[in-house]
Chain A
Amino acid sequence: MADDIRLEADILVIGGGTAGSVAAIKAKEALPDGTVLLLEKANVKRSGAIALGMDGVNNAIIPGHATPEQYVREITMANDGIVNQKAILAYAEQSFSMIQELESWGVKFQKTATGDYDIKKVHHQGSYVLPMPEGYDIKKLLTRMIRRVGVKTENRVMATKVLVDEGRAVGVTGLNIRTGEFVVVKAKAVILCCGAAGRLGLPASGYLMGTYENPSNAGDGYAMAYRAGAELTNIECFQINPLLKDYNGPACAYVSGPFGGYTVNAKGNRFMLSDYWSGQMMMEFYKELTGPNGPVFLKMNHLAPETVAEIGRILHTTERPSRGRFHAGRGTDYGEQLVEMAVSEIGLCSGHSASGVWVNERGETTVPGLYAAGDMASVPHNYMLGAFTYGSICAGSALDYIEQDNSGQIDDGAVESERHRVLAPLNRTNGIQPHLLEYKLRRHVNDYLQPPKSAYRLQLGLDYFLRASEEVAQLGATDPHDLMRALECSFIRDCAEMAARASLFREESRWGLYHYRQDFPEIDDENWFVHVNLKLGHDGTMDLFKRPVEPYVVPLDETELRNYRRIRIPAEPAIA
């Protein structure tokens, strides 16, 4: 067997997507003589949720257009009150300087003729959407910065486990997915930026890799943080998005909305006041989709041909540029027909909903030396700019931490047993093929965890996910690529178990469709105005518990808190 690759770093960043790129750049800028190492499962030039760019910023808080307090209030409403406001406020206050910094790196934001930021309104209340007409090259600009400041990058290395010494993160193990080499990295601090758990539910098309999220993001970060002993939160607040049916990418209401496009039912009628993605909005979307006036469409055929062409230009060059090809194949012309929509598979992603590894306003997880940013960290509705901003916040916190504490040691026993676990499928003859187990796991996620939820279904799902541990232990792999997929099955299983347990634990409904329990259909503030957190217990089973909502720093009155529960356009009153 080949020798392990041994690496060392002052600050280790796992994942070079949105959050990880910025975390690594900011850490290295502050540590010109130190080592900042970035491990990336793909290649930093095309990795993560913005591999093919992004059409805009969904949550820009630009002075003169919105205040941080307004934004905190809006996101609190959109999350039915279950938020750590301090963490949202930290984002809201620091995100504008992040925008300015991105501009200094060459990122272009849309401006009006007078030079002001061209902010659009998509949210229910405030205006926070800032288009990036040339957003297709954002990953190129980030990669250029990563090289310029001297971040050490290891592409095609997948982290498999966070190594812990006396409760503190001291490094990771990993696998080179091309060569099959086992990698051990010692670090003074570890920043996890592994993206969403995007391969949790199975898309309705049945195509394993036809996910909304970049399928490299299999929930690696969620599972690794859990195994390291960190707390996770709001896992039952699933991500479910309104997407182009079958294509399974965003339509996207944030692009077409400001141009005059909107969501309608099969009769061509608008039924929602706001197309901004929230659990409450998804509930109305789902009701209409499955109701007598379903399905649901994106309407753009009332717009001027020039406007339709401009929407097409953005949708077909940025984020998911194959949208145009898909529609051409189906014979759908935005200017002529309505565009059919459907709901996505479920996932875990704080970028759009609220599930994540628990972090505070400094990006700290509950494990010292371990930080998390982006779609896998718990700051809700954080989107791309939140990932950038928290990447930067985590870099700052990690820099402070390594000043004080760097005495951790790597436990050779833990490394040895992880090496055995990671490489075992290569030596297992007659093993289960990874894509088969993945399909089975994700089909069970759809069968039992997808809302509407109920205790009987959730329990049956949980029973299977527990049995699936034995199936994970029977996986076989023929090459390093296959081995990556086998290891991802283990991450997917962990995420599925968390999703089932957290959904069972919260005996109420909240966040609209995201946690709609048919057996507890009402919001129960008296008993459940809390976070549901979970972590690895001492006996190796999952502990679930209530974590109180931190006192608000931006108060809301009762009526405000209910704003997002009134997304449906009321039926017209009969004329007297």
Chain B
Amino acid sequence: MIEEQRTKKVVAGQLKFESEVAAASAAKMAPNRQVSRLFDVPVVVDEERCISGCHVCVESCPVDCLAIETERRKAYMKFDDCWYCLACEVDCPTNAITVKMPFLIR
């Protein structure tokens, strides 16, 4: 159905889809969805030092933005919610974490 709508003749200002909702649905399927890990994020984990299976930092984070990556079992910043409070950095038993200022306030 979306293909059909895409081939319709496009008039400037006119929605190519039946509705805003249909347009959003098509946008969701677009192949360029990005993974935040590939970008500059405030919480930087030194994977050499990070202890596999430890989750002290994940428990410390007040906004719950950290998680343990399932394959290597190392901590990483999963959600872009960092308050730059340093709880993870202070509580990490091996000093594996450095928190940078989020770019917008750096």
Binding site for B on A (CB under 8 A): 42-43, 45-48, 51-52, 155-156, 177-178, 205-211, 214-216, 246-248, 320-322, 325-326, 329, 429-430, 481, 484
| 16 sample A-B contacts, Cβ–Cβ < 8 Å, listed by A number | A42-B63, A45-B59, A46-B59, A46-B60, A46-B62, A48-B62, A178-B64, A205-B104, A205-B105, A210-B105, A216-B62, A216-B63, A325-B84, A325-B100, A329-B101, A484-B64
Q: Would B62 and A214 count as touching, CB distance under 8 A?
A: yes
- The reply to whether the CB of B47 lies closer than 8 angstroms to some CB of chain A is no
Q: Would A326 and B82 count as touching, CB distance under 8 A?
A: no
Name the residue in A43, A320, A484 with the highest tally of chain B Cβ atoms < 10 Å from its Cβ: A43
Known: A52-B87, A215-B63, A320-B85. 17 other contacts (CB 8 A): A43-B62, A51-B62, A51-B85, A155-B59, A205-B105, A206-B104, A207-B102, A208-B81, A214-B62, A215-B81, A321-B90, A322-B85, A326-B84, A326-B106, A430-B25, A481-B78, A484-B64
Which B-chain residue is minimally distant from A206 (CB atoms)? B104
Q: Would B81 and A207 count as touching, CB distance under 8 A?
A: no
Chain B residues with CB under 8 Å of A46's CB are 59-62, 85, 87, 91
Which A-chain residue is minimally distant from B56 (CB atoms)? A45
Q: Would A210 and B104 count as touching, CB distance under 8 A?
A: yes
- The reply to whether the CB of B8 lies closer than 8 angstroms to some CB of chain A is no
- The reply to whether the CB of B28 lies closer than 8 angstroms to some CB of chain A is yes
With A214-B83, A322-B99 in contact, is A45–B60 under 8 Å at CB? yes
Q: Which of B23-62 contact A (CB under 8 A)?
A: 24-25, 28, 59-62
Name the residue in A214, A247, A325 with the highest tally of chain B Cβ atoms < 10 Å from its Cβ: A325
Q: Would A209 and B64 count as touching, CB distance under 8 A?
A: no
Interface Cβ pair total, 8 Å cutoff: 88
Q: Would A209 and B105 count as touching, CB distance under 8 A?
A: no
Distance in angstroms from B87 CB to nearest chain A CB is 4
Complex CA–CA separation, A459 to B28 (angstroms): 35
Residue from A43, A325, A429 within 8 A of B25 (CB atoms): A429
Complex CA–CA separation, A206 to B82 (angstroms): 14
Which A-chain residue is minimally distant from B23 (CB atoms)? A430
Q: Would B83 and A42 count as touching, CB distance under 8 A?
A: no
Chain B residues with CB under 8 Å of A52's CB are 85-87, 90
Complex CA–CA separation, A322 to B91 (angstroms): 14
Q: Would B102 and A481 count as touching, CB distance under 8 A?
A: no
- The reply to whether the CB of B11 lies closer than 8 angstroms to some CB of chain A is no
Distance in angstroms from B28 CB to nearest chain A CB is 7
Chain A residues with CB under 8 Å of B106's CB are 326, 329
Which A-chain residue is minimally distant from B84 (CB atoms)? A322
Name the residue in B60, B64, B79, B99 with the highest tally of chain A Cβ atoms < 10 Å from its Cβ: B64
- The reply to whether the CB of B10 lies closer than 8 angstroms to some CB of chain A is no
Distance in angstroms from A123 CB to nearest chain B CB is 28
Chain B residues with CB under 8 Å of A215's CB are 62-63, 81, 83
Chain B residues with CB under 8 Å of A481's CB are 64, 78-79
Distance in angstroms from A482 CB to nearest chain B CB is 8
Distance in angstroms from A344 CB to nearest chain B CB is 13
Complex CA–CA separation, A297 to B86 (angstroms): 25
Chain A residues with CB under 8 Å of B104's CB are 205-207, 210
Distance in angstroms from A525 CB to nearest chain B CB is 41
Q: Would B24 and A209 count as touching, CB distance under 8 A?
A: no
Chain B residues with CB under 8 Å of A51's CB are 62, 85, 87
Complex CA–CA separation, A209 to B86 (angstroms): 14
Distance in angstroms from B106 CB to nearest chain A CB is 6
Which B-chain residue is minimally distant from A216 (CB atoms)? B62
Residue from A48, A177, A208, A214 within 8 A of B64 (CB atoms): A177
Complex CA–CA separation, A246 to B102 (angstroms): 11
Q: Would A42 and B28 count as touching, CB distance under 8 A?
A: no
Distance in angstroms from B68 CB to nearest chain A CB is 12
Chain A residues with CB under 8 Å of B90's CB are 52, 321
Which A-chain residue is minimally distant from B20 (CB atoms)? A430
Distance in angstroms from A473 CB to nearest chain B CB is 13
Q: Would A248 and B105 count as touching, CB distance under 8 A?
A: yes
Q: Would B60 and A246 count as touching, CB distance under 8 A?
A: no
Chain B residues with CB under 8 Å of A247's CB are 105
Chain B residues with CB under 8 Å of A178's CB are 64
Which A-chain residue is minimally distant from B28 (CB atoms)? A430
Residue from B62, B86, B105 within 8 A of A47 (CB atoms): B62
Distance in angstroms from B49 CB to nearest chain A CB is 19
Chain B residues with CB under 8 Å of A429's CB are 25
- The reply to whether the CB of B21 lies closer than 8 angstroms to some CB of chain A is yes
Which A-chain residue is minimally distant from B91 (CB atoms)? A46
Residue from B25, B83, B87, B91 within 8 A of A209 (CB atoms): B83
Chain B residues with CB under 8 Å of A208's CB are 81
With A430-B25, A430-B28 in contact, is A156–B85 under 8 Å at CB? no
With A156-B64, A481-B79 in contact, is A246–B105 under 8 Å at CB? yes
Complex CA–CA separation, A308 to B106 (angstroms): 23
Chain B residues with CB under 8 Å of A45's CB are 59-60, 91
Complex CA–CA separation, A406 to B54 (angstroms): 43
With A51-B62, A248-B105, A322-B99 in contact, is A209–B28 under 8 Å at CB? no
Chain A residues with CB under 8 Å of B102's CB are 207, 209-210
Distance in angstroms from A260 CB to nearest chain B CB is 27
Chain A residues with CB under 8 Å of B28's CB are 430
Complex CA–CA separation, A52 to B91 (angstroms): 11
Q: Would B105 and A325 count as touching, CB distance under 8 A?
A: no
Chain B residues with CB under 8 Å of A322's CB are 84-86, 99, 101
Chain A residues with CB under 8 Å of B62's CB are 42-43, 46-48, 51, 214-216
Complex CA–CA separation, A322 to B89 (angstroms): 11
Chain A residues with CB under 8 Å of B99's CB are 322, 325
Chain B residues with CB under 8 Å of A248's CB are 105
Q: Would B24 and A430 count as touching, CB distance under 8 A?
A: yes
Which B-chain residue is minimally distant from A156 (CB atoms)? B64
Distance in angstroms from A303 CB to nearest chain B CB is 26
With A42-B63, A45-B59, A51-B85 in contact, is A430–B21 under 8 Å at CB? yes
Complex CA–CA separation, A133 to B12 (angstroms): 64
Which A-chain residue is minimally distant from B88 (CB atoms)? A46
